Amino acid sequence: MDTGRKIGDVILSFENISLSFGGVKALTNIGFDVREHEIRAIIGPNGAGKSSMLNVINGVYHPQEGEIIFHGKHRRDMNTYESAKSGIARTFQNIALFKGMSVLDNIMTGRNLKMKSNFLLDAIYWGPARREEIEHRKKVEEIIDFLEIQHIRKTPVGRLAYGLQKRVELGRALAAEPSILLLDEPMAGMNVEEKQDMCRFILDVNDQLGTTIVLIEHDMGVVMDISDRVVVLDYGKKIGDGTPDEVRTNRDVINAYLGVAH
C-alpha cells in the first residue's frame, strides 16, 4: 500500500460548517481538513450528512455558518463553477451521467473547462476547433484506456450496466484532471470483482497522478484499506477523525456505527 507518495500540506479545510434545510439540521459544526495527495474518507450511517458534506465542498449546497479555507482563501461557501474551475471534480451517489450521450462524449464533457473553442468556431469546425477537439480526444482516450472501457466508447451510457456506468462517471471526473476528486459511494451496488477494479483505479489515480481524494463509502473493509485518514459523521455531527486504526478503536464511533455489527 505504501507507494512512496508524499502526503503534503493541508489544502482544504472546514471550520464550524453548519447546514440546514428549513428547520432540519443536516450538518452541525463540522470541522476537518484535507491534505494534499491523501485519500480522505467520510463515513457514517445513513443520513449522517456525508453527501451533504460533499455537496458543500463543491458548492451545490451553501452552508449557513462556517468557513471553508481553500487555496489559502477564507470563504463561507463555494460555487459549483468556481470549484470546478479550481480543480475539484466529483462523482455522484446516484449516477449522474448524461444518459443520451455516448461514453466518449460523456468523458469529453469533463474536458470542457480546458477547451477554448466557442460556438462559432465549433460551427465552422475547421482549423482550431477541429485541432482542439482531436487533442482532447487523445487525452480522453488515455482515460478510456486507463479505465479499460475501450470496447464501449461509442455506446450510449444509458445502455450500460451499473458498474460500468460508475466507471464512466469516474472517467468524466478524471477528464478534468482534478487536483481534488470527490467520490460519493464509488463502490455502492458493485460485486466484489467490480469493487476490486474500482479500488485499483482509485489507488492508481491517487498514486500516479497525485490526486487528492475525498470519498464516501459504506464498505468498511475498503475504507479501512485504502484511506489515509477517516472522518466519521453521525446525525450531522463529527464523532471521530483520524487514521483508520484510530477510528476503529474510537469508543463513540464503535457505539454509533461499527459497534452495531460486532
In this structure, what are the phi and psi dihedrals at residue 174, rounded to the nearest 5 degrees? Answer: -65, -30
Is 228 a binder of another protein (CB under 8 A)?
no
Considering the rule CB under 8 A, would residue 97 count as an interface residue with another protein? yes
Does residue 46 belong to the site contacting another protein (CB under 8 A)?
Answer: no
Query: What is the helix, strand, coil percentage profile of the chain, to 5?
Result: 40, 25, 35
Specify the residue, 135 or 246, whose C-beta has the smaller distance to another protein. 135
Residue 114 Cβ vs another protein, minimum distance, rounded to whole Å: 9
- Interface with another protein (CB under 8 A), residue from 3, 94, 151, 260: 94
Reading phi first (left if > 0) and then psi (alpha if -120 to 50, else beta), residue 189 is in left
Distance between alpha carbon 19 and the CA centroid of its chain, in Å? 20
Distances (CA, A) of 2 to 14, 60, 98, 213: 27, 34, 36, 16
What CA–CA distance (Å, rounded) separates 153 from 139?
14
> Is position 90 an interface residue for another protein (rule: CB under 8 A)?
yes
Binding mask of the shown chain, residues 161 to 180, with x at each position contacting another protein by CB under 8 A: -----------x---x----
Residues near another protein, by CB under 8 A: 21, 55, 58, 60, 80-81, 84-85, 89-90, 92, 94, 96-101, 105, 108-110, 112-113, 115, 117-119, 122-125, 129-130, 133-134, 137-138, 141, 172, 176
